[in-house]
Structure 1
Amino acid sequence: TDFMGRQLNFQYDSAGRLVAAVLPSINSAAPGNTFPNGTAYVFQYDVNNTDPNRQNDLINIYYPNQTLAYINSSRVVDVTSVYASATPRYTITYGQGSTNPDYGMVLTETVGDPANGIGGTYSFAYSTSNLPTNIIRPRRPDCQPNHRHRPQRQPGGLQL
């Protein structure tokens, strides 16, 4: 709690991973916009991955409008119910298989709800030195490989 009475709460799982961050309560706002128990972001990890080295990978983030129903008056989030019932608004996939060159690298990030026309998926490819070579945004590439190895601003994206 800070000097103005605002409180942040953090929840961790048994492995010490941050699973929820509850933001300050909102008691004075327009009708329908008060949140006396606060609002929360919930984080989900790849705990069921058969590779123990990948079990700490962040795979889903749930935004406050997906988690409101799961916060109690003690500002504790029922993260198990969020995982089972809510729709994540940020999803990350990683390269799997320790012999694959993209092992542990972010392959895609999905933001929003592309199935309903909101948001999209970013795809990532890497060079053999584990540097991004091409980031594909939903509308256009962000960066393209070149041989200068210095970022160069270009219309339509960042050149590497």
Structure 2
Amino acid sequence: MAACTKSHRGRKFFEQPVEISHCRATYVRPRKDAAFAKREKTMRYMILINSDEAALANTPIEKAQQMSAAYGAYTEALKKSGAWLAGERLRPTQATTSVRIADGKTNVIDGPYADTKEQLAGFYMIEAADIDTAIEWAARCPAASTGTVELRPIWEMADYMPKK
């Protein structure tokens, strides 16, 4: 090891020991990471969980604990299979802020955009080989037996980029 204490404009550089080794040429080949390669063979989907907030608010504690355990098991099954990409529960619509631009002005409204019987309560983003596999996962979601589960394919950037 050698210590380099050259200065430039009064500043010292490399004051710490520097290990000197033989130089060699290196070529770094661009590669696709494993997640990108997998995505070329699969498609991403959003599982949108819609439920009745009023009914959920009146759910007995025992039933709520059972639902929580069911979601935990479902999430673990998604992760174990490699299908899980993301997922979260959303706060109630009381916490919603809707934003619109009209005539160049930003309009902010407390609450949801539309008043509906069911509200968006959460989501999962999954990766599946085909729509049938995605439907199987959506059907296994605990919300499918108590509310509505909407399955939507994600519009991948490559799907709408112009071909060269």
Question: TM-score, normalising length from structure 1?
Answer: 0.24
> Does 1 or 2 have the higher relative contact order (CA < 8 Å, sep 6+)?
2
Task: Give the number of the structure whose residues are more often strand, by fraction.
Answer: 1
Task: Give the number of the structure whose residues are more often helix, by fraction.
Answer: 2
Q: Greater CA radius of gyration, 1 or 2? A: 2
Question: TM-score, normalising length from structure 2?
Answer: 0.24
